[in-house]
Chain A
Amino acid sequence: MDIFLTILQGVPMTIGLTVAALAIGAVGGIPLALGRRSNVPIISLAAVSIIEILRGIPPIVWLFIIYFGLGTALPMLDPITSAVVGLGLISCAYMAEIYRGGLSAITRGQWEASEALGMGRGSVLTFIIGPQVFRVSVPAAASYAIGLLKDSSVAYTIGVSEIVYFANDQSRQTSDALGPFFLAALVYVIMTIPCAWATRALDARLRMRVAR
C-alpha cells in the first residue's frame, strides 16, 4: 500500500506534462495546419517538412536531443523543461494533422457561403470554420491526449519524477522488481479508461452542434 501511495506521487507530474504538452500542441498546431494548406508552395513545403520530421523521430530521441544535446549549451534546460518542450513540439505536429482532418470535414459550401456574405478569409476562419474544426477535432485530439499520457512516461529516462520514475525507485528500494511496475501499469489504466469514456460522451454532445 505504501508503494502504491509513493507511485501516486508521480501522477501530478504525469498529468502536468501531458496537459502542458497538449496545450503547446493545441496552439502550435494551428499555424502548422494552416501552413500546410497554404497556396504558397514554400510555406506548405516548410510546414509539411516540420510535421514529418517532428513525427518521424521517436519521442525519447527528441528528449535526448534536447536534454543531452542542447542542454550542454543551454543550462536552463532542466529535465522537466526539456520534457515539456520535447513532448510539446511533437504534439504540435500531431495536432496539426488532427486539425487538417477537421478542416477537411467542413464542407466547401461554408467557405463559399461566408465569402458570398462578404467576410474576409481571416474572419471566416475565426468565426465560422475555426469553432467547428475544434469541435470535429475533439475525438481525435482526445485519443491523442490519452496516447500522450502514456508517452509522457519516456520523460523518466531523463530523470523527470513521474509515475515510472517512482515505480523504478520503489522497485530498487524494496528489491521487488515486479510489484511496483504492475502498480504503475494499474495507475495508467485507471487514468486512461475513464478518459476514454469521457471523450466518447463529450464527442457525442459536441457532434450535435456541427452543421453538416
Chain B
Amino acid sequence: MNFLSDWPTFLPGLLAGLGVSVQVALLSLVIGIPGGLLLAIGASSRKKAVRLLIIGVVEIGRGTPALVVLQIFYFGLPASGLTLSSMAASVVALAATTAAYTSEILRGGLQAVPQGEVEAAGALGMSRRDTLRFIVVPQGLRIAIPSLIGFAILIFQATSLAYTVALPELLSQAYSIGSSTFNYLSVLVLAGLMYAAITIPASWLTSRAEKRLARHL
C-alpha cells in the first residue's frame, strides 16, 4: 500500500494550499476583530435603537452558518451587481462571521472590567470616550485574549469551507490531488494532519495564555 510513500509528492501542492488557508484566516481576523470590537462597544450604547440594531445584527450573524454566509457573498452578490473573487468572498464572509462572534467574546471581556474603575474614571473627570479608550478597552481586550485565540483556531478551521467556492486552499488542493490520483484517503489524511499541526499547538497556546492571565487578575 502506497499510503505513506506518496506523501512527498503531495506535499508541494498541499503546502501551497495551506498558505492560502493561513492567509484567508489572518485577513479575516485582522478585518473581523476590530469589527467585533465596534459591535461590542455599540451593543452597550446608551441609545436603545442602536443597541437593539447591533444585537440584531450580531444574533443574525451568529445564527447563520459560515457556509451559508460564504454562499451568499460568493454566489449571491453577483446577482446584485457586485462580483467578488473567491478569495475576496471568503475573506469578507469569514470576517463578517468573525465580527459577529468576537463581538460577544469582547463584550464579555469589556463587562469583566470592574464597574468601580469606570466610576473612578468618571470621578476624575475623564470623558466617556477616554474612559473607554484608556481604561475599559485595554483591560477588556486582555481578558478576552484566550477566547480570541480559541476563536482564531475555529476560523482557521473554517477556511476549509472555502472549498465550496473553489478557492485553492488546503482542502481544495487535497481533493483535487485525490481526484487525479484516486488516493483520497492518503491525501486527505495528510491534509487533516496539516490542519492539526497548526490547530493543536495553537490550542496549547490558549491554555498557556489563560494561565498567564490568571496570574495577574
B16 within 8 Å of A (CB atoms): no
Contact present for A189 and B63 (CB under 8 Å):
yes
Q: Knowing A177-B75, A188-B63 are in contact, say whether A157-B185 is a contact too (CB < 8 A).
A: no
Bound: A104/B49 CA distance, A? 41
Closest to A189 in B: B63
Contact present for B189 and A69 (CB under 8 Å):
yes
Contact present for B185 and A58 (CB under 8 Å):
no
Give the size category of A's interface with B.
35 or more
Looking at A33-41, A60-68, A107-115, the stretch in contact with chain B turns out to be: A60-68
Count residues of B near A (Cβ-Cβ below 8 Å).
42
Closest to B60 in A: A189
Which residues in window 54-81 of A have CB below 8 A to B? 55-62, 64-65, 68-70, 72-73
Closest approach, in angstroms, between the C-beta of B210 and any C-beta of chain A?
13
Contact present for B68 and A56 (CB under 8 Å):
no
Q: Knowing A60-B163, A157-B163 are in contact, say whether A72-B72 is a contact too (CB < 8 A).
A: no
Contact present for B191 and A61 (CB under 8 Å):
yes
Which residues in window 143-195 of B have CB below 8 A to A? 157-158, 160-161, 163-164, 171, 174-175, 178, 182, 184-186, 188-189, 191-193, 195
Q: Knowing A61-B160, A156-B67, A184-B68 are in contact, say whether A178-B203 is a contact too (CB < 8 A).
A: no
Contact present for B161 and A62 (CB under 8 Å):
no
Contact present for A181 and B71 (CB under 8 Å):
yes
Closest to B196 in A: A56
Contact present for B192 and A57 (CB under 8 Å):
yes
Looking at B39-47, B76-84, B112-120, the stretch in contact with chain A turns out to be: B76-84
Contact present for B175 and A56 (CB under 8 Å):
no
Report chain B residues within 8 Å CB of A156. 67
Report chain B residues within 8 Å CB of A59. 157
Bound: A210/B59 CA distance, A? 30
Q: Knowing A65-B188, A65-B189, A177-B78 are in contact, say whether A60-B68 is a contact too (CB < 8 A).
A: no
B65 within 8 Å of A (CB atoms): yes
Contact present for A56 and B185 (CB under 8 Å):
no
B2 within 8 Å of A (CB atoms): no
A105 within 8 Å of B (CB atoms): no
Q: Knowing A62-B192, A178-B80, A181-B76 are in contact, say whether A188-B184 is a contact too (CB < 8 A).
A: no
Contact present for B68 and A70 (CB under 8 Å):
no
Bound: A178/B171 CA distance, A? 25
Q: Knowing A61-B160, A177-B78 are in contact, say whether A52-B71 is a contact too (CB < 8 A).
A: no
B11 within 8 Å of A (CB atoms): no
Contact present for B75 and A157 (CB under 8 Å):
no
Contact present for A56 and B184 (CB under 8 Å):
no
Contact present for B175 and A64 (CB under 8 Å):
yes
Report chain B residues within 8 Å CB of A164. 65, 67-68, 71
A167 within 8 Å of B (CB atoms): yes
Closest to B204 in A: A52
Contact of B69 among A53, A185, A192 (CB under 8 A): A185
With a 10 A CB-CB cut-off, give which of B62, B67, B196 has the most chain A CB atoms.
B67
24 A-B pairs with CB atoms under 8 Å apart are: A52-B200, A56-B195, A57-B193, A58-B160, A60-B163, A61-B160, A61-B188, A61-B191, A64-B174, A64-B188, A68-B184, A69-B178, A69-B188, A70-B185, A153-B65, A164-B67, A171-B75, A176-B79, A178-B75, A181-B68, A182-B72, A189-B60, A192-B63, A193-B59
Known pairs A56-B196, A178-B72, A185-B68. 5 more at Cβ < 8 A?
A72-B184, A150-B63, A151-B65, A153-B65, A185-B63
Nearest first, the 6 closest Cβ-Cβ pairs linking A and B are A69-B185, A56-B196, A178-B76, A189-B63, A58-B157, A150-B65
